[in-house]
Chains A and B, each alone.
Chain A
């Protein structure tokens, strides 16, 4: 059971905050918010572009629709007692079909923590430099398929 409130820091500041549950929230803030001035020069920020873009992705409608349909199908299974939950989850993970390792309501922001979890290993990858404006509109995420099949590391896990 998830606690209703998860808060970073315990008393004074963030030191000792639980990771990774707060990490996606932090990353979202420091990539999306904060002071921006026109004077500064971005110098060779390969990893940043990647993370920034993916943090902005809003789930594509097609993908979202399919996942919701799948979610209601799962509801049906619970109701009819076809499988119990652990079996069902295991089957989904092994099946590896698109989107099934995540709940239908998983969001783009959770993806940030997945990326972060793997980012240290991704240094050799070529950065995907997509224009930011396109990412803002974000009607397509077809090219991001590989990352979202990683196991979830989100606060919704339990």
Chain B
């Protein structure tokens, strides 16, 4: 897995040839440049090779470079963090040339569009009170001391499991409500919900001209549900969720 190299080409993403880059930084984006091949270009840099990539500053810089391009109106295919090729020649031969058709179509698909991610999760105390009110069995166990710190592990686990099940039963209706209220603003990509309290985690590909309307819509939905849901909007960002990753 580990290879000793003198230099490498870190790839941020793919853009149309001639795109205007943001100023290079000192870390990950050192020697930031375009490597062009026909109508396509890769945004690459040559960060120092004497350390591993993946520190916080590297992650932030990866996003900054791509976000600046998007903010400037450039269509961008963002790479997942960690794409490295050996040199500029390899960028052309192994990346751009072999995927030319695919990348051109993908750039067309994200042109004049930005990604927004909407995340909703329950407010803990509120939803737990709902669960207790709706599930007499759980409330009874709680009153019987199953939640106490000195209750047996088995009892606490049993109670917790019932609560998680109750949350999972409750979630689909709330997810549907949010999606209904968000309307049909554009292409949607759903992410897997990782925790029982998550209600929605979805990326929307929005036309730039509709962006502020979408932001207002999300804000209105968030206000409507603020007593029991925390809703966050991330974006506008590069279309990370819409570039066909595995």
B57 surroundings in chain A (CB, below 8 A): 120
Q: Is A12 an interface residue (CB 8 A)?
A: yes
A95-134 Cβ-contact flags toward B at 8 Å (1 or 0): 0000000011101110000001101100100000000000
Let me know if A7 and B142 touch, CB within 8 A.
no
Distance to closest chain B CB from A36 (angstroms) = 5
Of chain A, the residue at the smallest CB distance from B143 is A76
A155 surroundings in chain B (CB, below 8 A): 230, 232
B52 surroundings in chain A (CB, below 8 A): 44-48, 123
B160 surroundings in chain A (CB, below 8 A): 64-69
Q: How far is the CA of A8 from the CA of B117 in the complex (A)?
A: 11
Cross-chain pairs A/B with CB under 8 angstroms, 25 sampled: A5-B233, A8-B234, A13-B70, A15-B68, A32-B80, A32-B191, A33-B245, A35-B78, A35-B243, A35-B244, A35-B245, A39-B85, A40-B84, A41-B84, A41-B86, A42-B1, A43-B2, A43-B8, A43-B84, A45-B82, A68-B159, A69-B147, A72-B128, A119-B54, A120-B56
Let me know if A120 and B234 touch, CB within 8 A.
no
Chain A contributes a number of interface residues (CB within 8 A of B) equal to 68
Let me know if B56 and A35 touch, CB within 8 A.
no
Let me know if B194 and A58 touch, CB within 8 A.
yes
Tell which of B31-39, B169-177, B179-187, B217-225 binds the partner.
B217-225
Let me know if A109 and B194 touch, CB within 8 A.
yes
Interface of B is mostly: mixed
Using a CB–CB cutoff of 8 Å, the interface residues on chain A facing chain B are: 2, 4-9, 12-15, 22-23, 25-27, 29-37, 39-51, 58-59, 61-62, 64-73, 75-76, 78, 103-105, 107-109, 116-117, 119-120, 123, 155-156
Known: A41-B86, A109-B194. Contact between A34 and B79, CB under 8 A? yes
Q: Is B60 an interface residue (CB 8 A)?
A: yes
Q: How far is the CA of A107 from the CA of B120 in the complex (A)?
A: 12
Let me know if A105 and B197 touch, CB within 8 A.
yes
